[in-house]
Amino acid sequence: MKRIAFLGTGLMGAPMVRRLLAAGFPVTVWNRAPEKAQALSADGATVAESPAEAVAGAEVVFTMLSDGHAVRDVLFARGVAEALAPAAVIIDTSSITPQMAREHAGQLAELGFAHVDSPVSGGVVGAEAGTLALMAGGDAAVIEALADVFAPLGRLTHVGPAGAGQVCKLANQQIVAVTIGAVAEAMMLVEAGGADRAKFRDAIRGGFAESRILELHGGRMVARNFAPGGPSRLQLKDLDAVAVLAEATGLTLPLTETVRTEFTEFVAAGNGDADHSGLLLHLETMNAGAPAQESK
């Protein structure tokens, strides 16, 4: 079995590590907050004190970090690149800009290492169940050789060269954000019109409006449970990256821009750590509806 290092064991990283351990892979973990890595020792992970220590001897190195700057810092400022074993492959499952992914791939290639940008979709639920959608950019032969490592995590699709995984993740995040906004607005319309939100959601399940967003985040909106899941500040980070890519490619994306504005205002109001389904609270405030306090 391939020896794995996993850097970043937060909301998404921890369940991914557990999936890899359950599949029989030896995994060494590191996290900026040591207690989050230490919690995985009970599942069989080896805990390292530094990212460089974690990758020593590893054949595959996963990163699942907050943004591209965190990834760059860990790879190139904290000794990881120098500590990599010969022929090690780096799989970045973080959500970062396509440009940064390409830069990282180029820098690592100069040092003789392969890089795969493979952001994921499916949230904590998907990470725990091993049903993530994995969008991989990079060399096809390298990705094919990693099939056994990806298998416990979910469904892998090779989407193109370096950076293509991150492009597809941004497009995914567009759909997620716009759909969250649509579901939230529908919830308000239903209630304002005198119907029941929960029964409305049940009634349209299985029709053309069915989606994972309706299932999971519509359920959160009905229950008014906005503990993260997917923090709104990270949803906004992805929408900002979409805006940069759209400008660079000359695209006008009016739906995306509208929902980006709403998330900008929601996060600025102090709701950055609320689940992105909590956009409902912002829209309710705009409409002088229910009190815009995060439900516990």
What share of the chain has pLDDT > 90, as a percent? Answer: 94
Q: Provide the domain limits for residue 229.
A: 167-286
Do 19 and 74 lie in a common domain?
yes
Among 123, 141, 161, the domain boundary falls at 161
Whether 243 maps to a domain, the answer reads yes
pLDDT digits (tens, 9 = 90+) for 248-278: 999 999 999 999 999 999 999 999 999 999 9
Q: Does the pLDDT at position 42 exceed 50?
A: yes
Q: In degrees rounded to 5, what are phi and psi of residue 89?
A: -115, 135
Whether 265 maps to a domain, the answer reads yes
pLDDT digits (tens, 9 = 90+) for 165-204: 999 999 999 999 999 999 999 999 999 999 999 999 999 9
Among 112, 139, 161, the domain boundary falls at 161
pLDDT band at 293 (very low <50, low <70, confident <90, very high): very low
Do 61 and 36 lie in a common domain?
yes
- 72 DSSP assignment: H
* Residue 214: C-alpha distances to residues 43, 96, 178, 202, 289 (Å): 33, 26, 12, 10, 21
Whether 293 maps to a domain, the answer reads no
Whether 292 maps to a domain, the answer reads no
Do 154 and 240 lie in a common domain?
no
Whether 294 maps to a domain, the answer reads no
Q: Is 169 among the catalytic positions? A: yes
Cβ-based neighbour number of residue 42 at 10 Å: 7
Q: In degrees rounded to 5, what are phi and psi of residue 161?
A: -75, -175
pLDDT given for residue 229 in this prediction = 83
Do 177 and 215 lie in a common domain?
yes
Do 104 and 124 lie in a common domain?
yes
Q: Considering only CA atoms, which of 143, 8, 124 is closest in space to residue 68?
A: 8
Catalytic residue among 2, 36, 169, 237: 169
- Kindly provide the residue ranges of all beta strands, DSSP E only, lying in the chain, ordered along the sequence: 4-7, 27-30, 46-47, 60-63, 89-92, 114-117, 120-121, 132-137, 154-160
Crossing angle of helices 164-192 and 254-266, rounded to 10°: 70
- Kindly provide the residue ranges of all beta strands, DSSP E only, lying in 107-148, ordered along the sequence: 114-117, 120-121, 132-137
pLDDT band at 290 (very low <50, low <70, confident <90, very high): very low
Whether 139 maps to a domain, the answer reads yes
Pairing of strands 120-121, 60-63: unpaired
Do 191 and 282 lie in a common domain?
yes
Among 161, 183, 206, the domain boundary falls at 161
Q: Exposed, middle or buried by CB within 10 Å (0-12, 13-18, 19+), for 293?
A: exposed
Q: Does the pLDDT at position 159 exceed 70?
A: yes
What's the predicted TM-score (pTM) here? 0.88
CATH number at residue 181: 1.10.1040.10
Q: Which amino acid is residue 241, in one-letter code?
A: A
Q: Does the pLDDT at position 296 exceed 80?
A: no
Whether 295 maps to a domain, the answer reads no
pLDDT given for residue 288 in this prediction = 78
How far apart (Å, rounded) are the C-alpha atoms in residues 73 and 8?
Answer: 13
Number of structural domains the chain divides into? 2
Do 82 and 185 lie in a common domain?
no
Q: Exposed, middle or buried by CB within 10 Å (0-12, 13-18, 19+), for 191?
A: middle
Q: What is the CA radius of gyration of the chain?
A: 20
Do 138 and 226 lie in a common domain?
no
Whether 11 maps to a domain, the answer reads yes
